[in-house]
Structure 1
Amino acid sequence: MARLEESLTRHGYAFVEDDEHAEIVRARFDDYRFQFMLTGEDLGVLQTRGRWSHSVDVSRKVEMVKLCNEWNMNRIWPKVYVRRESEGLLGVYGELAADFRAGALDSQIDSAVKCGLSTVIAFFHSLEERLGAELDDLDT
């Protein structure tokens, strides 16, 4: 975690530690919530996960799943998906994992962080472009 936090600091990114989970730090980028976490065997996998800033009514689940599947079929990363967050609302997520169980240079950690952020944000921007004027109706 110290090396991840050093990487975020090197890039000038503000973040907060998660009080309940020592292996997670949280941040906001372009108004999207992100978390960086260490998972897997010996906490050797760095996962960058972002949540889209809009919530979607569950009635639009099929449409949102199709948009995510289209992205996933045409790109290697990030993995994107829809998840039910409450009775009537869905959240849209993107995530990228980097396996560092064998070790990593600081430059590799930096690259994983930058790649995770840039590709997840690119997906969110793509969604916003595709949905256009419909964005105003999503969070109501």
Structure 2
Amino acid sequence: MGKDSADDLAPLSLTRVEESLTRHGYAFVEDEEHPEILRARFDDYRFQFMVSGDEHGVLQTRGRWSHSVDVSRKVQMVKLCNEWNMNRIWPKVYVRRESEGLLGVYGELAADFRAGALDSQIDSAITCGLSTVIAFFHSLEERLGAEIDELDS
């Protein structure tokens, strides 16, 4: 058996998430207003890591696409997100209104560790969350092509 064993299952905590990010060499900051959230940037996308759920056993990795979208393009963006969600297990992707006229596009992966987690499982959940959310953002950029220049204006 590898270095992890069932005896190493331990409750999920934000400290363990910090340790995992540090093991990967990822820079992150704590959110002073929201102590349950860690923030980081990957490929110019903003990410947050949260421990949530009734038993604080769910690790959520959430990324925000680096572009804002005018609300007039909501149907197009929802369609692109739905297409992704229908064809893939994860990450869950969605559009959210952030202000009167602007939408944000998000990707998120939740991992249920209510029974506890090995360090390697937390590492894998973070790696999977980052890589799949970034893959969605890259796919979105590829699908939109030159239209991206119109989004932030």
1:39 CA drift (Å):
0.5
Query: What letter is aligned with 1:23?
Result: E
Q: Which residue number corresponds to residue 79 of structure 1?
A: 92
1:23 CA drift (Å):
1.2
Unaligned segments of structure 1, at least 5 residues? none
Q: Helix, strand or coil for the counterpart of 1:98?
A: strand
Q: Helix, strand or coil for the counterpart of 1:25?
A: strand
Q: Which residue number corresponds to residue 42 of structure 1?
A: 55
**4+ residue runs over 4 A deviation:** none
Query: What letter is aligned with 1:122?
Result: A
Which structure would you say has the larger RCO, counting Cα contacts within 8 Å and 6 or more residues apart?
A: 2
1:8 CA drift (Å):
0.1
CA distance in 2, matches of 1:125, 1:90: 18
Query: Does 1:105 find its partner at 2:118?
Result: yes
Query: What letter is aligned with 1:11?
Result: H
Query: What letter is aligned with 1:99?
Result: D
1:41 CA drift (Å):
1.5
Percent identity over paired residues: 88
Query: What letter is aligned with 1:82?
Result: V
Q: Which residue number corresponds to residue 25 of structure 1?
A: 38
1:29 CA drift (Å):
0.2
1:42 CA drift (Å):
2.0
Query: Does 1:120 find its partner at 2:133?
Result: yes
CA distance in 2, matches of 1:69, 1:61: 12
Q: Helix, strand or coil for the counterpart of 1:68?
A: helix
Unaligned segments of structure 2, at least 5 residues? 1-13
Query: Under a length normalisation based on structure 1, what TM-score does the superposition of the two structures give?
Result: 0.99
CA distance in 2, matches of 1:19, 1:43: 19
Report how many residues are paired.
140
Among 74, 78, 93, the residue aligned to 2:106 = 93
Q: Helix, strand or coil for the counterpart of 2:120?
A: helix
CA distance in 2, matches of 1:70, 1:136: 22
